[in-house]
Structure 1
């Protein structure tokens, strides 16, 4: 019931009571008419609303502070013409104020496209929808809100900053050799040949080796193996402080996204692992888009143990190893020593939780020192530190010690 409706019912009741008290039947009828009018208006707003809503986002993935244009298509699935409707689109808080829309009268099976724009300063997977329409009577006495099912999601990607390329990391399954070994048969002239296999191209037959060995031999092309890298993001809530883009968690997500983008761009086989991931096994990333989508959805986890990070380092080492980069919070002495033991030469950005909170602590410095004793190169992250500068210190220091 609207404010006008409350006034009508109050006035009607008052007029009817006055009419009965004064014995004026016409006045009583007028008061009753006002009350009945409100009841009729209420019945009108109870009419079923048969609408379908669909959305298309352009683009569906945007960087922080990027815009996305939303096209909302509303279709009348009822048998009669729909009334003029006011609508409000549901939006996640991070996308700003909810847009207010006006849906014109739609004939049966008619549809209309409405457009609006959203923008987010916050990384994440943000929900758009459902659509809420307000049905009211012609007199504006009553109103009813009806939710039209259906929603979509806008992916706001984390920031990625340009970083210095990794120095001194040759190719190889474990980052130790430049290429895969090739067979050498009966002298230097036969280097890079192997026995013929069914399906090999006959144009690749190496006739000199075939004549010498008496078996059909084919040329073996050099196939460099893919360099491997493990990126570990410590998403435990207990090691982070601060809120929003100025907090340590968002700084860490930006760092992990930037490092992952750099390594994928340098054609590493990148494995991404979160402290909250169960199982301790990091799966290789297929491409940068999937990596950023995953990092866009990361939120602080209510986990206190670093066990899964240690397990991921051990599993990575057992399957060939490679370069290890960790964006972590403070670790206990035992966890720091276990991490250092699982990877001989890692890179670590250790977040000083106290600095992002009420005051600096020594926990991050102690973690960096313990990792350094195990052969790692570490930098402590304080509020205001720039990722490109810290990263440059790490990779240059690593290259200098090789």
Structure 2
């Protein structure tokens, strides 16, 4: 009992210290120029007391009075403020997105002036301007401050508290308030640009079984007509039937079947441990590039990866499938189980489906784990020809630009 009582008293003492420090942090404090101003007033007051000159005494009281008025004004200036943060739920690494700070003045009569807002000090969050200035916020008004930002690392990022500082009106005394508002954002990996040879290889597999957005309609006989599903190839819409029925209809051609892919990501550590992290990020970027390319082609595909648990997604296409896989890629790490222990659970063997196997080691080691008749596309991050699967633009960049990403999302929504 004595030990529990001592522990409880220690916790109470710690809580009191935390409350004391929290109370001291919100107290108005002199700025650097305010300290100089107050010291000059104290000097004049001492000189007036020494020389018994009333003019010096009055001049000495003036700076102290101005600092006191500033402290009271700052305290009222920060009362009744509420700051929130609004941003998209996901963004690509290195892609600029907008964070909107919402400053709500809940006071009934008094406006707030000269507010300096400083967002979270997250090291992976890069902003054009880390501090934002709100010149004036009217009573019962919400001011919106847009901030351009980008993330440097994939994964889940939590934006934490914000601080609001003001030294209005004289700049002699400043006060700060910490606003508790937490929000999460997922950073997708940046899709790498695929080489022309790899794109043609994927398109050849797609044309063999079905139509992609780049293929041409054949001369086969019409098998039937069905309703259009979101994300399918727009070239297959039969406009006469669409006009008759009032909803988009698709022509099913005889002998045509939808192409299907399965992306298998194997992140079991193989090879030089010094280059493991670099190979992992390159492999994840290539997987994101293939996902982006298949989404642009309106191809049906699924994804399989073993992290802490085995994930085998359902077949899908379009933006919903893209975001589901990219959110998984944002949290991909090294796998503890080798490929041979879980490849049988993926469900390979469908003649209509083409496997795309991405592995950290050499592709010869992974090809032995696949059925010989699968016709899989195997890429190893440890191979010397790994970079031949990537392409560079005229500026030497190997990742897809923000404009291309926005264009791809716009086409997917259309």
TM category (shorter chain) comes to: 0.5 to 0.7
1:101 to partner: Cα distance: 3.3
1:339 alignment partner, SS class: coil
Structure 1 unaligned segments of length 5 or more: list them.
173-190, 193-220, 353-363, 365-379, 390-402
Alpha-carbon distance between aligned partners in 2 of 1:156 and 1:135, rounded to the nearest angstrom: 36
**1:233 matches 2:265:** yes
8 Å contact 1:51–1:74 — kept in the other structure? Answer: yes
Q: TM-score, normalised by structure 2?
A: 0.56
Contact 1:280–1:315 (Cα < 8 Å) also in 2: no
Deviation of 1:351 (Å) = 1.3
Q: Secondary structure of 1:138's match?
A: coil
RMSD: 4.9
> In the alignment, which residue of structure 2 is the partner of 1:88?
117
Structure 1 position 3, deviation (Å): 0.5
Shift in alpha-carbon separation, 1:76–1:301, aligned structure 2, 3 A: same
Relative to 1, partners in 2 of residues 1:286 and 1:305: Cα closer, same or farther, differing over 3 Å? same
Structure 1 residue 2: Cα displacement: 0.9
CA offset at residue 74 of structure 1?
A: 3.3
Q: Any conservation in 2 of the 1:280–1:310 contact (CA below 8 Å)?
A: no
1:161 alignment counterpart: 193
Query: How far off is 1:236 after superposition?
Result: 6.2
1:77 deviation in Å? 1.8
TM superposition shift of 1:76:
2.0
Cα offsets for 1:118-142 (capped at 9, x unmatched):
4667666667786543222422112
Q: 1:145 aligns with which of 155, 176, 188?
A: 176
C-alpha contact (below 8 Å) 1:164/1:388 kept by paired residues: no
2:242 match: none
- Contact 1:280–1:312 under 8 Å retained in 2: no
CA distance in 1, matches of 2:366, 2:276: 26
| CA offset digits 1:228-251 (Å, max 9, x no partner) | 42213345688786799xx43443
The DSSP-based 3-state class of the residue aligned with 1:317 is coil
Counting only pairs closer than 5 Å after superposition, residues 228-267 of structure 1 correspond to structure 2 as 228-235=260-267, 247-265=278-296
Relative to structure 1, the CA distance from residue 107 to residue 94 in structure 2 (aligned partners, 3 Å threshold; closer, same or farther) is: closer
The equivalent of 1:387 in structure 2 is 390
Indicate whether 1:328 and 2:331 are aligned: no
Distance across 2 between alignment mates of 1:315 and 1:281 = 9
The residue correspondences of 1:2-401 to structure 2 (distance < 5 A) are 2-15=31-44, 22=50, 24=52, 26=54, 31=60, 34-35=63-64, 37-47=66-76, 48-53=78-83, 67-68=96-97, 72-88=101-117, 90=119, 93-118=124-149, 132-148=163-179, 149=181, 153=185, 158-159=190-191, 161=193, 163-166=199-202, 167-168=204-205, 170-171=208-209, 226-235=258-267, 247-265=278-296, 268-285=299-316, 287-292=318-323, 294-295=325-326, 298=329, 303=334, 305-307=336-338, 309-317=339-347, 320=350, 322-330=353-361, 336=366, 339-340=369-370, 344-352=374-382, 380-381=384-385, 385-387=388-390
